[in-house]
Structure 1
């Protein structure tokens, strides 16, 4: 049995289309959205102004236009960050 995946409590967007995610367990991870920007759903997020409007909603990420990503996928596809990286 796998432990429950922690939900996201904070997000910080970066101009290179990466996101610093802080999870409920205190872990900070980096997620790269660039590979997803080719899909029809996320293509509009190439606009940095729209990309920066990311918000934490119910522990997952959401952008205007009902674009969202689930916290469990974000946790699995992100890379752990050392404590000193922001």
Structure 2
């Protein structure tokens, strides 16, 4: 059984936000903007890089070097109805 925080779909939104769909149907919006100050996430300030987000079967990734813990996405994301 997959963990409750397994991300099955991600859609980039305006202002560095992500619309996330988790394994069990929960949808949340996660704001990446505060994370852009960290060196690991600085490349995401380029909107074309940010918009290249995808899932890897567990969490969201932008490249082999940039990802974020799925439990962070789940715990700090804001529930939405889509």
TM-score, normalised to structure 1, is 0.86
Structure 2 partner of 1:77? 76
- Could you list the structure 1 runs, at least 4 aligned residues long, displaced by more than 2 angstroms after superposition: none
Higher helix content, 1 or 2: 2
Higher strand content, 1 or 2: 1
User: 1:3-60: per-residue Cα shift (whole Å, max 9, x none)?
Assistant: x433000000012100000001001000000000001000110000000011101310
Structure 1 partner of 2:34? 35
Q: Where does structure 2 lack aligned partners over 5 or more consecutive residues?
A: none
- Structure of higher CA gyration radius: 1
Structure 2 partner of 1:54? 53
Question: What CA RMSD, in Å, does the superposition of the two structures yield over aligned residues?
Answer: 1.2
Q: Across the two proteins, how many residue pairs are aligned to each other?
A: 80
